[in-house]
Structure 1
């Protein structure tokens, strides 16, 4: 598991497994958000098995599956609400999917209203992700104070 931190309280990763949940707990994460639908790959653990392990470890678990190329505004809103709740409770969050790209895209879209697209794209680039394809959407959402 390779964790990519975007902020002190939010990180993304590619697919995790049950053993990774122990490492996440040990690293101080409190909340795990799974953005991967079940069955994308035969070796992928199910969301249910990860949920059971996460809860047994005392981690908060959320399953918000995103089918590649089918990201909706409702899913962005749901993700934003999960982040808002985690922030209120001062919880450290890790979101994951197959590669981390869906999770980081969701994060960027939730931040776009108050953060310039150039900054979001640079943060993603520093973590190894190319969000340049979201530039127009991020620009459309930006509303400077």
Structure 2
């Protein structure tokens, strides 16, 4: 499992397996967030199986599928309160971790300086500099 820590509240990862859920719980994660739709590609684990494993391990489970390359403002509107209110730390996953990072960055832009967000993402291995215009737009939405 390739866990990439963004900060003390959230880490992201590429697709996890059912077996990875126990490791996530052992590492202290409290909430597991799936930002990947079921059946996005052949052979990916079913979200129902990962959800069952999460509940078995006592983790909160959030299934918030987002289409890769098409993150809408509505997606950010759903992600922002979820991540704010979730039991921490959170482990969010998708195919590569990028979609989770983008969702986090756009929601964080509503209350944090862009440079801080870029730095945290870069330290986790994600270059989100192309999001600057959307982050500036989100900074206007303090909701």
Same-fold call, TM > 0.5? yes
Residues 35 and 63 in structure 1, CA contact (< 8 A), matched pair in contact too: yes
Q: CA deviation at 1:106?
A: 0.4
Contiguous gaps of at least 5 residues in structure 2: none
Q: Who is 1:92 aligned against?
A: 89
Distance 2:106 2:125 in 1: 17
Whether 1:136 aligns to 2:133 is yes
Q: Who is 1:41 aligned against?
A: 41
Distance 1:79 1:7 in 2: 17
- The equivalences for 1:106-125 within 5 A come to 106-125=103-122
Tell me, what secondary structure is at the counterpart of 2:6? strand
Contiguous gaps of at least 5 residues in structure 1: none
Across the aligned residues of Structure 1 and Structure 2, the Cα RMSD in angstroms comes to: 1.2
Q: CA deviation at 1:34?
A: 0.1
Distance 1:141 1:114 in 2: 9
Residues 107 and 138 in structure 2, CA contact (< 8 A), matched pair in contact too: no
Q: Who is 1:77 aligned against?
A: 77
Tell me which stretches of 4 or more aligned residues in structure 1 moved more than 4 Å. Answer: none
> TM-score by structure 1 length?
0.91
Tell me, what secondary structure is at the counterpart of 1:39? coil
Tell me, what secondary structure is at the counterpart of 1:8? coil
Q: CA deviation at 1:68?
A: 1.1
Distance 1:118 1:17 in 2: 33
Distance 1:126 1:92 in 2: 18
> TM-score by structure 2 length?
0.92
